[in-house]
Amino acid sequence: TEQSPAAPKTLAQWQAMLPNTWINIDKLIFSPWQEWQGKLSLALTSDIQQLRYQGEKVKFQGQLKGQQLTVSELDVAAFENQPPVKLVGEFTMPLVPDGLPVSGHATATLNLPQEPSLVDAELDWQENSGQLIVLARDNGDPLLDLPWQITRQQLTVSDGRWSWPYAGFPLSGRLGVKVDNWQAGLENALVSGRLSVLTQGQAGKGNAVLNFGPGKLSMDNSQLPLQLTGEAKQADLILYARLPAQLSGSLTDPTLAFEPGALLRSKGRVIDSLDIDEIRWPLAGVKVTQRGVDGRLQAILQAHENELGDFVLHMDGLANDFLPDAGRWQWRYWGKGSFTPMNATWDVAGKGEWHDSTITLTDLSTGFDQLQYGTMTVETPRLILDKPVVWVRDAQHPSFSGALSLDAGQTLFTGGSVLPPSTLKFSVDGRDPTYFLFKGDLHAGEIGPVRVNGRWDGIRLRGNAWWPKQSLTVFQPLVPPDWKMNLR
């Protein structure tokens, strides 16, 4: 028997075997990634092979002529509510089609989230090394500069540089990445690396390092350990981080889970007179996904104001897929402090929640042990809720409402006058905490009721008061006993 001819090995041999073929598939579905489905068209001859793919999230058009691959269109809608990433390029394929192109040049255009300027990316390589440069059109310095090398076993990015000049908080740093077993595909590749972050503020320079891997990134189930350690500085604030975490899940819907020991701390000056001695955010067990934050959220704040006094505040709560105006975050808070100008101490406690676009304060109790000012001392003033304060943050129909009560013990004057225990009950109704109307009644023993109403516009508090006609005898407590005067 005659031996069969040897199987083709080179790209040219494979191309020579192709019959003239035209294939159209109206609906091609990739399982389990059905969002990438689309229409496939192939036109094949021994000289030119053309491929076109049209889907909602990806569009591709290219042709292969000999060893020259031309990509005339590649649009990928990688992020929701963002324009697609666009790429074109020219590539030289290897003689034996068992690896990446031996050389190439590609350019891409993309939009940065929340930034108006376009970004251009340029990729060049020859044989086993190359460089990726990403430039914003309104900035001369590269956002990304990655020199890389590749072998059959490993892809390496060494001494890469990056910068982020946006959001009023410039960042920069270095990047190194190693991908082992890359030819086995994304599901089997082993990824590791190191990213450094340099910040600078009035408090000096800060440096943080993100170490990741070894682990895998997968379209089904990623498993990549991460740890961020170091500090960042902005203006007079310093932020310290030790955040071990695990990245898991699909790359299209990843989950970042913080592990035991995860902690953020900060200290510094927020405004000219307020100093943060320390604020702590324990994050162990907290998860972050595209849907929001999930888990126990805690914060402990210690601060002081040079003239007003010091204080400590605690917050503890539970988040369920929470983002601002989406999901649910329930919390409770408590704290205490001093109010030096009036020789007083104060405390606060309460509960509330943020559910979708509604913030509700369900419980509040805050007050002073006393207030001393000049010749006057007010005993135990305290503010409590009579009705939950509800803020609906709806763009079309915003609202802000609630009812409160301000109670105080006796007000004593050094001359012997006494104002009986007083109560101011009032309600608020408006658009948001910066614009609302208020109305209420003030009683002090038999004095009153004094009816008050007005408005707060975020800058000025305006109002009126009506005092009904009363017998003069209700003011007897204001007359010092040693005056021996009776009002009639």
What is the pLDDT confidence band of residue 1, given thresholds at 50, 70 and 90? very low
- pLDDT for 303 equals 94
Q: How far apart are CA 459 and CA 141, in angstroms?
A: 42
Residues, the chain, total? 488
- pLDDT for 464 equals 93
Domain boundaries, the chain: 1-106, 112-184, 369-488
Share of residues in the chain with pLDDT > 70 (%): 96
What is the pLDDT confidence band of residue 89, given thresholds at 50, 70 and 90? very high
Give yes or no for residue 424 having a pLDDT over 80: yes
∠ Cα 195 200 201 (to 5°) = 145
Share of residues in the chain with pLDDT > 90 (%): 61
Q: 339 near 368, Cβ under 8 Å?
A: yes
Q: How many CB atoms lie within 10 A of CB 182?
A: 19
Give yes or no for residue 365 having a pLDDT over 80: yes
What DSSP letter does each residue of 398-465 carry, written as one string? -EEEEEEEEEE--EEETTS-EEPPEEEEEEEEEEETTEEEEEEEEEETTEEEEEEEEEE-SS-EEEEE
Give yes or no for residue 416 having a pLDDT over 80: yes
Beta strand segments in 5-128, E? 21-28, 38-44, 48-55, 58-65, 68-76, 85-92, 103-111, 118-126
Q: What predicted TM-score, i.e. pTM, was given to this entire model? A: 0.78
Taking residues 425-433, what's their average pLDDT? 95
Residue-wise pLDDT for 393-408, tens only, equals: 998 999 999 999 999 9
Query: pLDDT averaged over the chain?
Result: 90
What DSSP letter does each residue of 283-299 carry, written as one string? -TT-EEETTEEEEEEEE
Residue-wise pLDDT for 263-295, tens only, equals: 999 998 877 778 999 999 999 999 999 999 999
More confident residue, 116 or 417: 417
- pLDDT for 114 equals 61
More confident residue, 471 or 208: 208
- pLDDT for 115 equals 64
Taking residues 95-124, what's their average pLDDT? 81
Which of 43-52, 157-166, 190-199, 201-210 is predicted least confidently? 201-210
User: Among the ranges 22-26, 185-189, 444-448, which has the highest mean pLDDT value?
Assistant: 22-26
Chain position carrying tokens 């390029």: 89
What is the pLDDT confidence band of residue 3, given thresholds at 50, 70 and 90? very low
Q: How far apart are CA 420 and CA 77, in angstroms?
A: 69
What is the pLDDT confidence band of residue 428, given thresholds at 50, 70 and 90? very high
- pLDDT for 8 equals 67
In sequence order, which ranges of 219-376 are alpha helices (DSSP H)? none
- pLDDT for 167 equals 65
Q: How far apart are CA 279 and CA 293, in angstroms?
A: 20
Closest CA to 213 of 270, 271, 155, 263: 155
What is the pLDDT confidence band of residue 208, given thresholds at 50, 70 and 90? very high
Give yes or no for residue 139 having a pLDDT over 90: no
Residue-wise pLDDT for 310-357, tens only, equals: 999 999 999 999 999 999 999 999 999 999 999 999 999 999 999 999
Which of 190-199, 210-219, 283-292, 409-418 is predicted least confidently? 409-418
Taking residues 38-57, what's their average pLDDT? 94
User: Among the ranges 36-50, 124-138, 469-483, which has the highest mean pLDDT value?
Assistant: 36-50
Q: How far apart are CA 440 and CA 422, in angstroms?
A: 13
- pLDDT for 366 equals 96
Taking residues 287-314, what's their average pLDDT? 94
